[in-house]
Structure formats: C-alpha cells, structure tokens
C-alpha cells in the first residue's frame, strides 16, 4: 500500500514539473524600424494576430528573400525571428531553431535579444524531447544574463525551465538549486502566486530524494504564500500542496496528518467542482424569478378582467374565481411534482458523478500498480544485464587466464567451471530479455512487435505485422503499448484457436492506431469483462489512463480489436 501511494505521488509530481516547463512561452515583441520592408513585417504580424497564418507565411517568405538580397541586417533579424516564432507555435521546433540560429551571428552584442533567442532555442529542444541540447542553450542564456541588469522575469523562467531539465536528468541537487533561484526572482518581481508554485515543485524534488521533512517545509511555505488567495493559480497551488503533504506525511508513517491533508485536498477539489454547479443554480434561480414575475403579471391581468366583467353578474364572477383557484391549485401541484423530479434528477447526477470518480480512481490505481511492476522489472533487468553479467564475464576471463598459465596441466574443474559460468550468463541474459524486451529498447515498437509475432507464430497459428508511418516514441509510451499488444497476443494464443492473426500499426493525426484481428472462435466480451476478464480490465484501464479508446468486436468467425491512443514523443 505504501509503495502504491509513493508511485501515485511520483506521477503527480511529474505532472507539476511538466507544467512548469511549459512556462517558456514568453511574449517578446519584435522591434521594427521605420522603412517599407519593416512596415510589411508589421502588416504580417497583424495577419498572425487575426489567425491568418498561411497568408502571413506566404508574405513573410517573400520579405525574407527581399531583405537578404538587400543585406538589411535589422530586417533579416526581425523577419527570421518572426518566422521562428510562427514555426514554434505550430510545433515545428527543428525549423524554428534553424531560424533562431541564423540570426545569432547578426545580433552580436545585443545581450537582451541573445538571451531571449537562447531561451527560445532551449524551449524548442525541451518540447522536442532533446533534453541535453535544451540544457546547453539554457546555460548559455544564463551566462549572457549576467551581462544584463534587471529582466528578472525572463531570468526566472530560464531557471525554472533549467530546473525541469535537471529533474528529467535525475540531477535533483541542480534542480533544487535552479528552482530556488527562480523562486527568488519571482519574489523580487512580486509574483507571489508563481513563487508559491515553484516552491511547491521544489518540495516535490525533495520528496524524490527521500527528504520528506524538507519537502513538507516547502509545501507549508507554498501554502503560507498563497494563503486564502482566490485566483485560479492560488487555488491549484493550495490544492496540489495539500495532496503532496498527505503523501509526504504518509511516507513518514504519520497517517493521521496524511488523512488530515487528504481531507483538505478533497474539500478544495469538491469546491472547485461545485463552482460550476453554483453557476447553474444561479441561472435556474434567475429563470424562476422571471417565471414568477410573469405568473404574477398574469394574476393581475385576471384580476382586472374580473373587475371589468363584474357588471355582467355575480354568477360569472364566481365562475371566474373558481376557475382561477383551480388553476392555482393545479399549478401548485405541478410545481411540487416538478420539484420532486428535479431533486431526483440531481441525486442521479450526484450518484453518477460518484461512480465515475470511483471508476477513474480504480483505473488509476490499477495502472499505477502495473507501471510500478514495469519499473521494478526494468531495474532488475538492468542489474542482471549491467552488473551480474559483467561479473560472470570477469570470472570467465580469470579462468581462461588461469588455463593459459597452467597450459597442458589444466584441471577438469576449471573447464567445468567455465561451462557453468557460460550457462549462467546465457540464463541471466534470457531472463533480462524476458523482464524487458531488449529489442523494444534498442529498435522501437515496430521491430519489437515483429519479433513478438515471429516468436508467437507456430505450426497452427501464423501472426503477421503491417506498420505504416511508425517512428520512435517516448520509451515509457512504447513499453506500455508493447505490453498491451503482448497481452492480446497471449490471449490469442491461449483461447482463440485461430489459424491466422494480423497486427496493424499506424501513426495518424497524432494518434497511434493498433488493429488486431484473428479468424478464431471469438468470445463473449461482456461475459469475459464481468466474470474473469482481469487481463481485459488491465488493457482497458491502461488505455483509459493514456487518454485513448478501445473497441472490441467478436463473433464465432473471429475477433477484431481497435485501439487508438494519443502519441507521447
């Protein structure tokens, strides 16, 4: 249970740090000199603001050709920087950095612009997953910043992003150092809410080092800064600090405090969800008041009509009075009935929300447990491959050297020892590959799935693979998808009684689509899911947490499984 909580906490902290990395989207104005070409750049900038990016790019490329032919240095810098910003905003980080690099030699001693360019390049590399290059550019930006007075806002963001890079490289001491610098700059600027968020992240880094008491100090400091602030950033910081403190106290075995801060987190979480409901209630109340006024106006109109027709006789007036009373009575009964229906509807909505929360929590717990197992298997495989195998190889070399020295008088025990060591090395290598596929780690998802299908195919079942537009993705993402496919292939081998199977992989519009089908006997999807489908539950839970979808169609002529998940690069 304690391991599970730690795993959940680590996932939460990673999300916080990734959020801080995205802070490098700094708006830096492009300066224009007053001539015809730069007036064109101003017009292009206006097109971008209007969302006409394609038209802006067409005009911008023409301007770049003009200014480069005329060797107008200022206009070249401005035009390439504008192009780099557009490419960056549209996700083409490599081309964006090429344009930033073109203008660096032209900037010379304009240190503010140089610092900005290196900051932007570092952000591009970081968003593109090239962490080491991001680190180099952030460090250059910091060195240039030493020549600049003020500009604490940009310096704070550089140090915050650099902290995120060091965190990804597991250099927690450096991550702490730069987080503290970033927090101090935000304090100088008076951005208390941002300072609190950085300090909250700092507590998370301490937690990753196992320094739970230091992490608690940081979380408490973040809470003291945000206080009872009402803006969204204050609320989010206060909410994340509470849950972080709950996990930190849990790691210290202080479960009373852990549950206390978990309750505080739950109260804030519920209140955030309740805000939308309050708005809905206000809208309903407003409509009710309007309806009530309309009803009152109708009653007044009826009274005037009764007064006008009074002269026609007391009998007509009595009939009208009775009719009005009857209508009011009916309206009262109808409103009472509607009120009961409204209460029942709200109860159903509330119960549905509770069930959804429970289902989401169970899925996340299941996936966190499986991810924990994968991480343990990866660590064991690393130890077997990098340490134990190396020791066995060294022992074998020593025995070989001993045989050389003994020459013809080698004892038979040495030969047998060498054979035993060789057999042990083979078994350890096989065990390491079973724990985590070395083919997957070295060559990627496509080759790993092909290798899996070749090994799974036999005289009764042949499984083929088709892939389209598949590249290398984030390693954890590839491992999770490979495990899902592996589980489905195992089920096909055990239960389908199929003769042929096909696995199709395709990268399409930012999603990885996997289609698996066979010509086996099929199965009852609902029955397997409800009674004995722990494997199916694991697959669906993993895909749900990855933000994807799965569709299974099965009959006595075969089974087709469609999976689509957003790609993580």
pLDDT of residue 562: 94
The predicted model gives 15-21 an average pLDDT of 37
The predicted model gives 344-372 an average pLDDT of 57
Of 60-69, 96-105, 359-368, 462-471, the poorest mean pLDDT is in: 359-368
Other CB atoms within 10 Å distance of the CB of residue 23: 18
DSSP conformational letter for 529: I
pLDDT of residue 499: 93
> Please, which pLDDT band fits residue 13 given cuts at 50, 70 and 90?
very low
pLDDT at 82 over 80: yes
pLDDT in tens, 147-185: 888 788 888 899 999 998 998 888 999 999 999 998 988
Structure pTM? 0.45
End-to-end CA distance of the chain: 31
Q: Under the phi-then-psi rule, with left for phi > 0, alpha for psi from -120 to 50, and beta for the rest, what region is 161?
A: alpha
> Please, which pLDDT band fits residue 290 given cuts at 50, 70 and 90?
low
pLDDT of residue 363: 55
Structure tokens at 552: 């299974």
| Residue ranges in 171-313 assigned as alpha helix (H) | 172-189, 192-208, 212-226, 232-251, 255-308
Query: How far is the CA of 72 from the CAs of 4, 97, 102, 376, in angstroms?
Result: 61, 21, 14, 59
pLDDT of residue 433: 57
pLDDT at 551 over 70: yes
pLDDT of residue 462: 93
pLDDT in tens, 126-142: 998 898 999 999 999 89
pLDDT of residue 506: 94
Of 12-16, 326-330, 363-367, 391-395, the poorest mean pLDDT is in: 12-16
Other CB atoms within 10 Å distance of the CB of residue 344: 10
Longest alpha-carbon distance in the chain: 140
Instruction: In whole angstroms, give the CA distance from residue 157 to residue 226.
Output: 20
pLDDT of residue 407: 66
482, 437 in Cβ contact below 8 A? yes
pLDDT at 29 over 70: no
pLDDT of residue 260: 86
Instruction: In whole angstroms, give the CA distance from residue 512 to residue 474.
Output: 12
| 531 vs 564, residue with greater confidence | 564
Q: Under the phi-then-psi rule, with left for phi > 0, alpha for psi from -120 to 50, and beta for the rest, what region is 108?
A: left
pLDDT at 482 over 60: yes
183, 224 in Cβ contact below 8 A? no
Instruction: In whole angstroms, give the CA distance from residue 51 to residue 389.
Output: 59
Structure tokens at 227: 């206080």
Other CB atoms within 10 Å distance of the CB of residue 376: 12
pLDDT of residue 226: 86
pLDDT of residue 511: 93
Instruction: In whole angstroms, give the CA distance from residue 128 to residue 210.
Output: 30
pLDDT of residue 9: 42
pLDDT of residue 466: 93
pLDDT at 6 over 50: no
Instruction: In whole angstroms, give the CA distance from residue 296 to residue 293.
Output: 5
Of 145-154, 223-232, 308-317, the poorest mean pLDDT is in: 308-317
| 477 vs 269, residue with greater confidence | 477
Of 1-15, 51-65, 297-311, the poorest mean pLDDT is in: 1-15
Ramachandran angles phi, psi of 561, nearest 5° = -120, 125
Contacts of 539 (CB under 8 A, 6+ apart): 484, 487, 488, 550
CATH number for the domain whose boundaries are 439-566: 3.30.565.10
565, 548 in Cβ contact below 8 A? yes
> Please, which pLDDT band fits residue 35 given cuts at 50, 70 and 90?
very low
Structure tokens at 423: 């057999």
Choose the most confident range, by mean pLDDT, from 97-106, 225-234, 309-318, 339-348: 97-106
Partnered with residue 553 across adjacent β-strands are 560
Contacts of 191 (CB under 8 A, 6+ apart): 156
The pLDDT mean for the chain works out to 78
pLDDT at 512 over 90: yes
Instruction: In whole angstroms, give the CA distance from residue 241 to residue 223.
Output: 7
The predicted model gives 100-117 an average pLDDT of 87
pLDDT of residue 360: 57
């Amino acid at each position: 249970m304690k391991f599970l909580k730690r795993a959940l906490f680590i996932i939460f902290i990673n999300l916080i740090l990734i959020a801080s990395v995205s802070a490098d989207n700094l708006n830096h104005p492009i300066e224009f000199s007053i001539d015809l070409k730069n007036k064109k750049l101003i017009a292009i900038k206006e097109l971008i603001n209007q969302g006409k990016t394609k038209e802006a790019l067409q005009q911008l490329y023409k301007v770049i050709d003009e200014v480069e032919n005329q060797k107008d240095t200022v206009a070249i810098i401005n035009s390439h920087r504008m192009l780099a910003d557009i490419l960056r905003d549209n996700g083409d980080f490599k081309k964006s950095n090429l344009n930033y690099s073109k203008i660096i030699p032209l900037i010379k001693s304009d240190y503010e612009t140089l610092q900005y360019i290196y900051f932007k390049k570092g952000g591009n590399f970081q968003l593109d997953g090239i962490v080491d290059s991001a680190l180099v550019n952030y460090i250059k930006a910091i060195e240039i910043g030493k020549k600049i007075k003020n500009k604490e806002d940009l310096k704070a963001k550089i140090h915050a992003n650099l902290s995120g890079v060091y965190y990804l490289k597991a250099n927690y001491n450096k991550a702490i150092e730069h987080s503290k610098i970033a927090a101090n700059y935000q304090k100088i600027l008076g951005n208390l809410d941002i300072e609190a968020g950085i300090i909250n992240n700092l507590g998370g880094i301490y937690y990753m080092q196992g320094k739970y008491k230091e992490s608690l100090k940081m979380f408490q400091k973040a809470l003291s800064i945000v206080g009872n602030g009402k803006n969204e950033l204050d609320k989010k910081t206060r909410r994340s600090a509470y849950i972080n403190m709950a996990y930190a106290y849990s790691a210290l075995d202080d479960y009373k405090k852990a549950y206390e801060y978990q309750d505080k987190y739950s109260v804030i979480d519920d209140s955030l969800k309740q805000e939308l409901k309050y708005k809905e209630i206000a809208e309903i109340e407003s409509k009710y008041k309007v309806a009530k006024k309309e009803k009152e106006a109708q009653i007044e109109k009826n009274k005037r009509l009764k007064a006008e027709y009074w002269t026609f006789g007391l009998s007509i007036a009595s009939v009208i009075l009775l009719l009005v009373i009857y209508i009011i009575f009916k309206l009262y009964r109808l409103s009472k009935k509607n009120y009961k229906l409204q209460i029942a509807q709200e109860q159903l909505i509330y119960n549905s929300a509770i069930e959804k929360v429970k289902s989401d929590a169970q899925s996340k717990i299941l996936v966190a447990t499986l991810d924990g197992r994968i991480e343990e298997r990866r660590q064991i495989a690393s130890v077997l491959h990098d340490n134990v195998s190396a020791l066995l190889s060294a022992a074998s070399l020593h025995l070989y050297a001993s045989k050389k020295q003994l020459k013809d008088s080698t004892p038979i025990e040495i030969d047998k020892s060498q054979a035993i060591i060789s057999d042990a090395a083979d078994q350890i290598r096989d065990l390491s590959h079973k724990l985590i596929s070395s083919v997957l780690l070295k060559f990627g998802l496509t080759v790993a799935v092909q290798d899996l299908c070749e090994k799974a195919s036999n005289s009764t079942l042949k499984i083929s693979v088709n892939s389209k537009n598949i590249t290398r993705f984030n390693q954890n993402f590839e491992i999770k998808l490979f495990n899902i496919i592996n589980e489905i292939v195992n089920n096909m081998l055990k239960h389908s009684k199929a003769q042929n199977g096909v696995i199709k992989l395709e990268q399409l519009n930012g999603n990885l689509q996997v289609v698996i089908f066979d010509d086996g006997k099929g199965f009852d999807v609902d029955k397997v899911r409800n009674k004995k489908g722990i494997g199916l539950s694991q697959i669906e839970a993993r895909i749900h947490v990855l933000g994807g979808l799965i569709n299974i169609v099965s009959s006595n002529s075969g089974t087709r499984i469609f999976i689509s998940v957003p790609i993580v690069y």
